Amino acid sequence: MVGPYMTAIGSIEQELQRAISIWFQCSPDYSKYPPVVALVFSDKTTGIAGYDLLLDNFKNCDLVLVLFKKENRLDISLVNRTNGDAINLKNLQFEPAQLKQFVETEAETRPFALAIGSLVKGELVLTSTRAPFSPLLVSQYQIK
Series of mean pLDDT values for 10-residue runs along the chain (144 residues): 64 96 94 95 95 93 96 95 94 96 96 96 92 92 96
- The domain of 104 spans 4-143
The answer, as to whether pTM is greater than 0.85, is yes
Coil/strand/helix, residue 16: helix
Neighbours of 140 (CB within 10 A): 17
Residue 2 pLDDT: 41
Contact between 76 and 100 under an 8 Å Cβ cutoff? The reply is: no
Extended beta strands in the chain, E state? 21-25, 36-41, 63-70, 73-80, 86-93, 112-120, 123-126, 136-138, 140-143
Q: What are phi and psi of 123, to 5 degrees?
A: -110, 140
